[in-house]
Amino acid sequence: MDPKSAASNGRVIVVTGAGGGLGGAFARRFGEHGASVLVADLDHASAQATADALAADGVRAQAVRVDVSDGTSTEELAEAAKAFSGGRVHVLINNAAIYGGLRRAPFDEITEDEWDRVLSVNLKGVWLVTRALSPLLGEGSHIVNVSSATVFSGSANWAHYVASKAGVIGLTRALATELGPRGISVNAVAPGFTLTDASRDLVPGAETYGVERSALRRAIQPDDIVGAVEFLASENSGFVTGQTLIVDGGRQFI
């Protein structure tokens, strides 16, 4: 079976952080292959822009504002998803995170407020969204959580971000264990430094950043990550759960 059609055709997909960047790329790809897409983002205008672009291409899509760090907001997302889907969500992609604009600093210069903010969105948000939407997931549903390859490199001056994304991997394993008896798979994808607008703003020379350290000597494009998520959201990965797929062109083993 074609992993693209298996992942998308006729199914309902919820993507958080889908107003742009990787989340927008996920929404577009799944929409291209027949999914109905609930586009969730803290910035409702960005979510609406993504949903409008999808609708212009004939995709059934709806925008919804969500603060993934707030339990009430995630319950409202679940209500919107229930109304949009008719009660069944096939794929949940937990992508929302604080990344672009995040201040890099030594661990002992990170403020408590900033630490708490990053962990609240990047880690707690995955838990809250999954908790809220889990009643809409059933046999054969897939959850894909977006972690980061920085977990494995221990990127300096990035402790709050690295810790939050490491937590996503641990949470993925715990959720896989708990949701497995319901026939729900839970996996994570760990992208390397990927060329998005946020990445370009974050790192000077982003187009070539880290390329010399990878086995595949080119920059990572959003489509590289999208393809991995499609696999983890398809029937082709139906017996894969609790795993983390590193997508970084081989940088972590070089």
Cα–Cα distance measured from residue 77 to residue 67, given in angstroms and rounded to the nearest whole number? 9
161 is catalytic: yes
Give the Å distances, CA to CA, from 93 to 17, 68, 139, 185, 250.
9, 12, 17, 12, 24
Cα–Cα distance measured from residue 196 to residue 173, given in angstroms and rounded to the nearest whole number? 28
Tell me whether strands 142-146 and 91-94 are parallel, antiparallel or unpaired: parallel
What is the SS3 assignment for 168?
helix
- Which residue among 26, 158, 161, 231 is the active-site one? 161
Residue 192, Cβ density class (10 Å: 0-12 exposed, 13-18 middle, ≥19 buried): buried
Cα–Cα distance measured from residue 250 to residue 183, given in angstroms and rounded to the nearest whole number? 31
In the chain, the largest separation of any two C-alpha atoms, in whole Å, equals 51
Which is nearest to 30 in space by CA: 78, 127, 95? 95
Cα–Cα distance measured from residue 123 to residue 45, given in angstroms and rounded to the nearest whole number? 24
Residues identified as active-site: 161
